[in-house]
Structure formats: C-alpha cells, structure tokens
A and B are shown apart, each in its own frame.
Chain A
C-alpha cells in the first residue's frame, strides 16, 4: 500500500482481556517498529524487526507484551491481561532499513483499557 496501515484505529477493552493490534507496513520496507505514545508524551520504543533477523525486544515493558512479524510483512502486537496503564496510542512505523531514510508511521491504534 501507499502508507503504513494500522488496525483497529480505536480499541476499548476491559482490564484483564487480551488485545491484538495489527500493522501493515509499506511494501518493500524491511524494517518495522512499534512505539507507544501516552497522552501528550513522547515516543517509547517497544520492538524492532529487521528482515529475517531476531527482533530487538529491548523496549517491551513486560512479558505481557509480545509481537510477531509473519513473512517479513504484517506485524501483530499482542498485549495479554491488559492493565489500565497500557492505555496509549500504539504506533507502527516501517523503513527501508539500515539507515536508508526515515520512518513512515501509521496513524496508530488508540487503546483504552477500562
């Protein structure tokens, strides 16, 4: 596609439920990133995929968070047993990788845990 697509755009879930957030990167972009942005805050790095290499999971805040990238394209971020502090906008970005240019971000998924 022309841009990075994220779904759903909004998600309201009950505390304790699991959620899955989806990201469709730009075709041909080998690198994919997940960030979290709390209200009025900066960008918190979560996880990074580059080609077939093992992902950099150093930013995941707890073991309730996991992500996978199937076939080097679509990625899913899963949050298990959601907590109220997980409420945030989850942003996905993709790039050509290896420092070749900047990131292209999706519009994000706004997650609200009630």
Chain B
C-alpha cells in the first residue's frame, strides 16, 4: 500500500526556472515531512523538512509548501540550476514509531 504518492515521475526544467514536485499522503498520523536529494551513486541526503504546525518552510532556493487539510506537500526549487539535477524523494513519518514512508521519486533534469 503506497502511503505517499509523488508526482511527476520525471521533470525537465530550463536553468533559472522553477521546479515543482508534489506529494500526497494518506495517514493523518504523519507529523514529519522531509525531502531527500539523491545524486547518482550516492545515498539520498536530507534536503529540507517540515512539520505540520507551519504551512511553509524556506531554505535558500528550496521551499516546502504544506497543506494539512488536503494532505499534500510540495517542493519548490527556485532559480533551478544544472547542479540541482538529481532524484528527489518526498517522505512522511510518524514521530511515535519513526516509520518513514517514501514517495517513488522524481528525476529532475535542469537544462543549461
């Protein structure tokens, strides 16, 4: 059972553009929503995370928007750069059991 649904599967953006990746979750007990960035040959690395007490979190060019009522959250990459080309995974977990569920991933390509 897929508890976190991620879209799109792949995304191509021009340099300087905005990349948007969306995720939806089902379990209302989830209270921690991280995004991971994975480069080829490397493990996923934590990029940015949000808890449901806020609707937005920004770190540099990366922003998470969170809609608790819709059970959706998204990653926005502003001024996308070729170095941002990677696979991005959203995830959700419940602090009580630390059981984290991952989305299927989005392969982002930023063209120069």
* A contacts, CB < 8 Å to B: 4, 31, 33, 40-43, 45, 48, 50, 56, 91, 93, 95, 97-108
- Asked if residues A42 and B43 are in contact (CB atoms below 8 Å), the reply is no
B43→A105 contact, CB < 8 A: yes
Docked pose: A103 CA to B35 CA in angstroms: 11
- What is the interface of chain A mostly: helix, strand, loop, or mixed? loop
Residues of chain B at interface, number, CB under 8 A: 26
A98, B98: Cβ atoms closer than 8 Å? yes
Taking a contact as CB atoms under 8 Å apart, the answer to whether A42 and B89 are in contact is yes
Q: Which residues of B contact A (CB under 8 A)?
A: 31-32, 34, 36, 41-46, 49, 89, 91, 93-100, 102-105, 107
Contact A103 B103 (CB under 8 A): no
Flag if B96 contacts A4 (CB, 8 Å).
Answer: no
Q: For residue B96, which residues in chain A have a CB less than 8 angstroms away from its CB?
A: 98-99
Q: A95-B98, A107-B43, A108-B43 are in contact. Are A42 and B105 (CB under 8 A)?
A: yes
Pairwise interchain contact A99-B31, C-beta atoms closer than 8 A: yes
